[in-house]
């Protein structure tokens, strides 16, 4: 089992914790992580884009000129894609970008990302995040204590709304609950700050 140090919010070491190897010590699978990331980004697309074909553009019902005898090319409608103000050929239409992926593969991607952070020593286990006051500067102080003020950091808590609210105004910093753990946030942020309670819940769900 991987063993990592635990800290308080001041950055002082308070002990050690053994992490579940089935969650934080799996073999890193880059292909599955990439697949899960593509799936998440794809499923966030609304797919409501739309252009009008020649049949949807208003007007154009009258033939502009007779078929023969004018010396001009044949034309049946002023809404042809060849005309200014006409329809669009092969333009985007509403569609679904949904991608399916087995639950085991999705979980493996998250476990691979967590294991990668452990290998890279980019994960900090905190005893708890007890803020003196519900202010953004409290989160900034924590980052400063860990020399992480210039990196993208992700806080994972057991559903602490105060931490989430205090962190959302800092560029590159985000706080989420364990229920919202996802592959994009794990890969997008450089450092992870996870409370002991959150670790226990993650291991309970993914272990």
Rg (CA), the chain: 27
The rounded distance, in Å, linking the Cα atoms of 145 and 134 is 18
Q: Is the pLDDT of residue 45 over 90?
A: yes
| Three-state SS sequence of 142-158 | HHHHCCCCCCCEEEEEC
Q: How confident is the model at residue 184 (pLDDT cuts 50, 70, 90)?
A: very high
Residue 42 and residue 98: Cα distance in Å, rounded? 6
Tokens found for residue 125: 């286990």
Question: What is the spatial distance between Cα 117 and Cα 123, in angstroms, rounded to a whole number?
Answer: 6
Q: What pLDDT is attached to residue 149?
A: 84
Dmax (CA) of the chain: 93
Q: Does 16 score more than 90 pLDDT?
A: yes
- DSSP-derived pairing of the beta strands 173-177 and 3-7: unpaired
Q: What is the pLDDT of residues 115-155, one digit of tens each?
A: 999 999 999 999 999 898 899 999 999 999 999 888 999 99
Q: Going by DSSP bridges, is the β-strand pair 173-177/153-157 parallel, antiparallel, or unpaired?
A: parallel
**How far apart are the C-alpha atoms of 22 and 65, rounded to whole Å?**
75
Q: What is the pLDDT of residue 189?
A: 96
What is this structure's pTM?
Answer: 0.86
Q: Give whole-number Cα distances, 80 to 55, 65, 199, in Å.
A: 9, 14, 61
Q: Which secondary structure element, helix H or strand E, spans residue 175, and what is its range?
A: strand 173-177
């Amino acid at each position: 089992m991987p063993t990592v140090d635990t800290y308080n919010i001041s950055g002082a070491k308070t002990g050690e914790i053994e992490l579940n190897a089935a969650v934080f010590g799996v073999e890193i699978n880059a292909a599955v992580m990439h697949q899960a990331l593509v799936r998440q980004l794809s499923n966030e697309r609304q797919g409501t884009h739309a252009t009008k074909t020649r049949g949807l553009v208003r007007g154009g019902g009258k033939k502009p000129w007779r078929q023969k005898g004018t010396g001009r090319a044949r034309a049946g409608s002023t809404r042809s894609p060849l005309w200014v103000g006409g329809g669009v050929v092969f333009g985007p239409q509403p569609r679904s970008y949904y991608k399916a992926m087995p639950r085991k593969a999705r979980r493996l991607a998250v476990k691979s990302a967590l294991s990668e952070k452990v290998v890279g020593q980019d994960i900090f286990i905190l005893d708890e995040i007890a803020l003196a006051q519900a202010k953004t500067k409290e989160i900034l102080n924590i980052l400063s204590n860990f020399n992480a003020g210039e990196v993208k950091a992700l806080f994972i808590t057991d559903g602490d709304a105060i931490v989430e609210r205090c962190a959302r105004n800092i560029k590159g910093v985000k706080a989420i609950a364990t229920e919202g753990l996802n592959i994009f946030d794990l890969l997008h942020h450089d450092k992870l700050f996870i409370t002991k309670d959150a670790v226990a819940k993650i291991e309970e769900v993914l272990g």
